[in-house]
Chains A and B, each alone.
Chain A
Amino acid sequence: MSAAIESEPTFVDKFPDEARVVRAAFMSSFFALLLGAIFGIIQTLHRTDVARIIPSTDYYTVLTAHGVFMVISFTIFFLVGLFTWALTRSLDRPLLNIKITWTWYGLMAAGMTLTGISILAGFVDSIDMSADVLYTFYAPLQAHPLFYAGLTVFIVGTWIAGADWFRTFLAWRSEHPDERIPLQTFMVLTTMTMWYIASSAVAASVLLFLLPWSLGFIDQVNPTLTRTLFWFFGHPVVYFWLMPAYMLWYTVLPKIAGGRLFSDPLARVVFVLFVLLSTPVGIHHQYLDPGIAEGFKFISMTNTMFLLLPSLLTAFTVVASVEYGARQRGGTGLLGWLTNLPWRKPEFTGMMLAGLMFAAGGFSGMVNAGMNINYLIHNTLWVPGHFHLTVGTAVALTMMAGTYWIWPQISNKPIFSSQIGLFQVVLWFIGMALMSNAMHAQGLLGVPRRTAEPEYSGFDYPTMFGGFEELNIQIAIGGTLLFVSTILFLGNLALTMGNPTVSGLAEPLPSPVSGAEDAPKVLDNLRLWVGIALTLVVLAYALPIAAIINRGGLLGPGVGTYPVWVAPLFDALADAATPLLAAITDASGSLLEVVR
């Protein structure tokens, strides 16, 4: 028996070249996670006024770095690593040309380095460079050209990655003309299809408007247009982060639970729904924007609400797969089977806790998506409270948990300590429960997101679910636990890399209970889904974008340019603004007294 297991090759045994790429992508991802975590803890303690080690004007440099490194570098580098593994593994064939693979990895790394430099230069006054425009880079705030150029190179890298995977798939197809697309490959291809559609808009925005504008070739841009193009990309990108987590929940979690995927066909349906509905929804980030008719906002809401469907279906299918595993392990009763699960394994517990938090995030997401209830929470701390449950836990914690399972497969090195891993994932859950819950509550008090100092001189927040100060303490404690959890994860992984390589770590993935042969063939017809997806995008966006251009012009209604990278001027302005505002408030106060 043990001899049989030892003879089973791991991924790195079968595909050493691809495994090297996967490891490189994961290393880039985790380096970004480290940077993002450092900026995260600085930000948490600053905002809650527990420890302010930077001036408040630098808070926005920290915030830009936290956002970009976490949701662009950490998530997407992990994605390309995971997808390279999944496609190669499920097609059981190497990539066509590993040099192309290294090329896209190199482009992504180079692009992110350029963008990272432009952001971090914001800390150094003597360098005339800054990108304090936050992850959303809304014009007419303007970053240094290097910021936009780096992002472009990075995105081009992901496009070539997609092409690499599609070409490899087509080569496999010619070798296996009659077989169904393996499930993991299906997930890779549908996700990349969505990515091509979504990222086309941000590429257009950067290449046609923002980059030429930052270089001085054009004088102004239309802020509503570039904002709309950002959200055309900005909502589907959240599914780009999420799909690697879904892939792990569908194909790896059931195996760890001791069972098998409940339904392959429904998994395919879910990914097709994401291709169709991820993009024509971005306007739900602009419910409170002027210049966009209410009807367009309603259409966007309807699409967004139907986008709940694939996630609700996923909840059922994944939990049912885990239940199946538990019953295979001897679990009984209505809920008693929950005790028959491998809770001591960090890869299992991490993914389950991530899924639980995603369920909670589903609720706050429903509120975000509700067109008029958006007034209540738009741009309040509720929103980052929400996405720290989704991308910050459903995605991030699943990626960390998944790493505990996948790293031995791509390196032949066993994880240094499962106990530390288990402690780390539970710590993440507790930290995020504290932080996210308090963020939601502060959002309901009206506390804004994205600000260095959320307390104001002119008014106090009302008290509900605990006061502003108590909630700040919860946020600070939660953020600190998350930072410690991240360091434990990275430390555990670093020590794992020091382990000697061993054999016998292979963990093959079982086939589903209801297999691909049960899935209608039409599900594999990617051309059809692309056609419908594009039609929906045109229906949702053609008229709003035409109206925006018609109203404000292609290059904006006389809007100025506000470069954040002329840093000294802005610092002076901000320093002047504080006493000035206080003086104005005092003056108007005394004026009121006089009038009375």
Chain B
Amino acid sequence: MGQSEAVNAPTDDVGGEGEEFDPIGTLTLIGIYFAILVLAWVYIYFVEFLGRDLVVVG
């Protein structure tokens, strides 16, 4: 195909496989990322922030 986006053009030979594609690897990677985010957040909020001196209470 040319340089244009070819929005309504029929998909080429790999198009059919696309419907079958399950990004299980992506789900795994992003699940690991999610777990890291949650743990890091709990640590920084409850240990680093609320655990410090001079928390602003008013």
A and B touch in the complex (CB under 8 A): yes
| Given known A183-B5, A376-B52, contact A362–B28 (CB-CB < 8 A) | no
Residue in chain B with minimal CB distance to A262: B23
For the complex, count residues of B whose C-beta is within 8 A of A.
Answer: 34
Pair B30/A319 contact, Cβ less than 8 Å: yes
Give every chain B residue within 8 A of A511 (Cβ-Cβ): 1, 5-7, 9, 11-12
Pair B28/A334 contact, Cβ less than 8 Å: yes
Residue in chain B with minimal CB distance to A184: B5
Segment of A105-113, A320-328, A497-505 engaged in the interface with chain B:
A320-328
Pair A319/B23 contact, Cβ less than 8 Å: yes
A516 contacts partner chain B, Cβ-Cβ < 8 Å: yes
A520–B18 Cα distance when bound, in Å, is: 20
Give every chain B residue within 8 A of A14 (Cβ-Cβ): 3
Give every chain B residue within 8 A of A367 (Cβ-Cβ): 41, 44
What per-residue 1/0 map shows which CB atoms of B6-34 lie under 8 Å from chain A? 11110110110010010111101110010
B40 contacts partner chain A, Cβ-Cβ < 8 Å: yes
Considering the complex, which residues of chain A in the window 507-539 have a beta carbon less than 8 Å from any beta carbon of chain B? 508-511, 513-517
Give every chain B residue within 8 A of A179 (Cβ-Cβ): 7-8
Distance in Å from the Cβ of B3 to the closest Cβ of chain A?
Answer: 5
Pair A92/B4 contact, Cβ less than 8 Å: yes
Give every chain B residue within 8 A of A91 (Cβ-Cβ): 4
Residue in chain A with minimal CB distance to B54: A375
Considering the complex, which residues of chain A in the window 426-464 have a beta carbon less than 8 Å from any beta carbon of chain B? 444
Give every chain B residue within 8 A of A144 (Cβ-Cβ): none
Pair A376/B56 contact, Cβ less than 8 Å: no
A89 contacts partner chain B, Cβ-Cβ < 8 Å: yes
| Given known A260-B18, A373-B49, contact A324–B7 (CB-CB < 8 A) | no
What per-residue 1/0 map shows which CB atoms of A393-427 lie under 8 Å from chain B? 00000000000000000000000000000000000
| Given known A89-B3, A513-B18, contact A370–B45 (CB-CB < 8 A) | yes
A196 contacts partner chain B, Cβ-Cβ < 8 Å: no
A184–B5 Cα distance when bound, in Å, is: 8
Pair B26/A316 contact, Cβ less than 8 Å: yes
- How many A-B residue pairs lie within 8 Å, measured between CB atoms? 104
Pair B7/A320 contact, Cβ less than 8 Å: no
Pair A363/B41 contact, Cβ less than 8 Å: yes
Give every chain A residue within 8 A of B45 (Cβ-Cβ): 370, 373
* The one of A183, A320, A376, A506 that contacts B26, using a Cβ cutoff of 8 Å: A320
A334–B3 Cα distance when bound, in Å, is: 34
A585 contacts partner chain B, Cβ-Cβ < 8 Å: no
A338 contacts partner chain B, Cβ-Cβ < 8 Å: yes
The CB with the most chain B CB atoms within 10 A, among A90, A185, A323, A508, is that of: A323
A106–B11 Cα distance when bound, in Å, is: 41
What per-residue 1/0 map shows which CB atoms of B31-53 lie under 8 Å from chain A? 00100110011001100110010
Pair B7/A180 contact, Cβ less than 8 Å: yes
Pair B5/A90 contact, Cβ less than 8 Å: yes
* The one of A182, A260, A333, A513 that contacts B7, using a Cβ cutoff of 8 Å: A182
Give every chain A residue within 8 A of B3 (Cβ-Cβ): 9, 11, 14, 89, 92, 506, 508-509
Pair A334/B24 contact, Cβ less than 8 Å: yes
Pair A335/B25 contact, Cβ less than 8 Å: yes
Residue in chain A with minimal CB distance to B24: A334
A316–B21 Cα distance when bound, in Å, is: 14
Give me the interface of B with A, judged by CB distance under 8 Å: 1-9, 11-12, 14-15, 18, 21, 23-26, 28-30, 33, 36-37, 40-41, 44-45, 48-49, 52, 55-56
Q: Which 3 residue pairs spanning A and B have beta carbons closest together?
A: A182-B5, A513-B18, A92-B4
28 of the cross-chain contacts (CB-CB < 8 Å) are A92-B2, A180-B8, A183-B5, A260-B14, A315-B33, A316-B23, A316-B26, A316-B30, A320-B23, A323-B26, A324-B21, A327-B21, A334-B25, A334-B28, A335-B29, A337-B25, A359-B33, A363-B36, A367-B41, A367-B44, A372-B56, A373-B44, A375-B55, A376-B48, A509-B3, A510-B12, A511-B12, A513-B18
Known: A335-B28, A337-B25. 13 other contacts (CB 8 A): A92-B4, A180-B7, A182-B7, A320-B26, A324-B21, A324-B23, A335-B29, A359-B33, A376-B44, A511-B1, A515-B7, A516-B5, A517-B7
